[in-house]
Amino acid sequence: MAWMKVPPWLFFLVLLGPQEGKGQSGEQEELDSKELMLVLGESVSLPVNIEEGEEIEKIIWSFHSTLAVIQQEAMKEPSISIVPDPRYNVIVNISDHTYSLHISNLSKEDEGTYRAEMNFEGFPGTITQKFILRVYRRLPKPKVTVILEISEESVCNVTLKCHVDGKGDEEEFSWTSLDPGAIVSDGGSVLHLSWRPGDSDWTSTCIVRNPVSFSSHSLPVEQFCTGPKVSSSTSCSSLVKGLFILLLFGFLIVGIIVTRHLIKNKESATRRIHRGLKLRKGVKRENLQVKEFP
């Protein structure tokens, strides 16, 4: 007969199969694990909820090793033993049927899987509730570095680079801008746009997010390109350019007067002209500016 050809080890496997997951002391049941996104420095409660009518016998919370044990005998106050760390606490609310492990001042080291193994009266098995903790910082306000390039036609090319101080996980940058031609690069952190006189003001906003928070920084683009609201040393309007040309003329005139008056002292006169030339170079560099906005 065909079934006779089935190798005997297969029967052995079939017999073993359904028993997998059973412990020596009875049935083991694992509830769906709960994933919690938490904030650095804050606290969390890991509660086990007991159904009405169920009587808890024992709960063991563990993370790498055992953190706390609750033992409850009928009609008695529960006895609690816990690791000697002020950050851990067990909170029992009998009227609420809630038993919680409380962890305060969360740090990155607290990330991972916590287990609550529960035994109930009149039930031989163990039920395990898993909690997966992730800890993230609350994001500070992002900073923006502004790089301006102004072409001959007064086109103002703006590059805005967004960043946050410090290190963090799963932080995502994005930009919103009303400029239809804006280009976002570097994974969302850099925005390029071109502004022309007559364009409306394109306020641009950098947004940074992580699983527990988000933070943003808005900048009016027109302000960089027209200048009056920022100090003259960082602006780039044609008005300011004109002022620089006027200044240049001023230096030239002063230079000529000085040269004439001090013509006898050749050395001194030459030094002053050199100084004038240095200032002229300084003006040309004004076309490319970098400024950081905290």
Candidate residues 151, 265, 268, 270; the one interacting with ligand NAG per rule CB under 6 A: 151
User: Looking at 66-74, 122-130, 149-157, 277-285, which segment touches ligand NAG (CB under 6 A)?
Assistant: 149-157
In the DSSP assignment, the letter for residue 23 is B
Provide the minimum distance between the beta carbon of 140 and ligand NAG in the complex, in angstroms, as a whole number.
17
How crowded is the C-beta side of 174, counted as CA atoms within 13 Å? 5
Interface stretch with ligand NAG, choices 25-33, 90-98, 137-145, 220-228 (CB under 6 A)? 90-98
Which helix or strand (DSSP H or E) is residue 88 part of? Answer: strand 88-93
> Taking CB under 6 A as the rule, does residue 93 contact ligand NAG?
yes
- Is 199 a binding residue for ligand NAG by CB under 6 A? The answer is no
CA 287 to chain CA centroid, nearest Å: 34
Q: Which residues pair with 146 in a beta bridge?
A: 160, 291
Binding mask 102-141 for ligand NAG (x = CB under 6 A): ---x-x----------------------------------
Residue among 151 and 270 whose Cβ is closer to ligand NAG: 151
Instruction: Name 248's Cβ contacts closer than 8 Å, sequence gap at least 6.
Output: 279, 280, 283
- Residue closer to ligand NAG (CB basis): 157 or 216: 157
Helix 266-284, helix 238-261: angle, nearest 10: 170
Give me the least distance between CB of 194 and ligand NAG, in Å please: 5
CA distance 161 to 145: 5
Whole-number Å distance between alpha carbons of 43 and 63: 16
Candidates 95, 167, 198, 274; binder of ligand NAG (CB under 6 A) is 95
Q: Does 286 bind ligand NAG (CB under 6 A)?
A: no
29 contributes a contact to ligand NAG by CB under 6 A? no
Other CB atoms within a 10 A radius of the CB of residue 46 amount to: 22
Dihedral-angle region of residue 186 (phi above 0 means left; psi in -120 to 50 means alpha; beta otherwise) = left
CB of 132 to ligand NAG, least distance (A): 20
Number of residues that bind ligand NAG (CB under 6 A): 10
For residue 98, count other CB atoms closer than 10 A to its CB: 14
- Cα(first)–Cα(last) distance of the chain, in Å? 84
Beta carbon nearer to ligand NAG, 155 or 240: 155
Per CB under 6 A, does 194 bind ligand NAG?
Answer: yes
φ, ψ at 272 (rounded to 5°): -65, -35
Please report, as ranges, the residues that interact with ligand NAG according to CB under 6 A: 93, 95-96, 105, 107, 149, 151, 155, 157, 194
